[in-house]
Chains A and B, each alone.
Chain A
Amino acid sequence: NAGVTQTPKFRILKIGQSMTLQCTQDMNHNYMYWYRQDPGMGLKLIYYSVGAGITDKGEVPNGYNVSRSTTEDFPLRLELAAPSQTSVYFCASILPGEAFFGQGTRLTVV
């Protein structure tokens, strides 16, 4: 039981490049979330999903896209990277009473 797996752990992007942050969970949870954490700040909700085929915007969705074709996978896509997207990104799989976070992806846009 691996829990929540995020890849990559680190990435440097140039302005305007695109990339996909991968998130996979093996617990068959319906609820999955993507957050970003800026230095010294709390976690801000980007997108979330309550099940395969269903996604919703969070607090800061601009510049990101998600998809949820399976229960296990919830990738986050950056289409045109901007310096403001430099942050640490966390994926989470959550049930009431349980929350499992990935190790985080530290993204720098230069």
Chain B
Amino acid sequence: GIQVEQSPPDLILQEGANSTLRCNFSDSVNNLQWFHQNPWGQLINLFYIPSGTKQNGRLSATTVATERYSLLYISSSQTTDSGVYFCAVAYPEGGSEKLVFGKGTKLTVNP
């Protein structure tokens, strides 16, 4: 199956700093999504981004499908950005579509 690798595994920032999270995948995918899991365990959609660049407030994401990676940018980080960021890729298998997650990047933003 497809391999999804995220880096770094852990990241500690001071409030106001910027960061870049990376997701590499080993094969062609139908789509790619970024999720945030907050400290209470809730999973929240951030971006659906099979290719190109999208922005939503302080967050933006870029996927370069031909080179099999995606980047999530967080600018002017806030303590509420803390949690785990997951990249998930969807790929076809046997007539259906699997959605597979990376292991995540744990972000801690200190005040």
Chain A residues packing against B (C-beta within 8 Å): 31, 33, 35, 41-45, 48, 50, 54, 56, 58-59, 88, 90, 92, 94, 96-99, 101, 103-104
Contact = CB atoms under 8 A, between A and B. Distances in A.
Contacts of A42: 86, 101-104
Interface residues of B, number: 25
A88 B37 CA distance: 13
Given A88-B41, A99-B33, A99-B45, A50 B101 contact: no
Contacts of B45: 98-99
Contact of B35 (A58, A88, A99, A104): A99
B103 A45 contact: no
Grouping DSSP codes into helix (H, G, I), strand (E, B) and loop, the B interface class, with mixed when no group exceeds half, is strand
Interface string B69-111: 0000000000000000010101001111111111110000000
B100 A54 contact: no
Interface of B: 1, 30-31, 33, 35, 41-43, 45, 48, 86, 88, 90, 93-104
Grouping DSSP codes into helix (H, G, I), strand (E, B) and loop, the A interface class, with mixed when no group exceeds half, is strand
A35 B35 CA distance: 14
Contacts of B30: 96
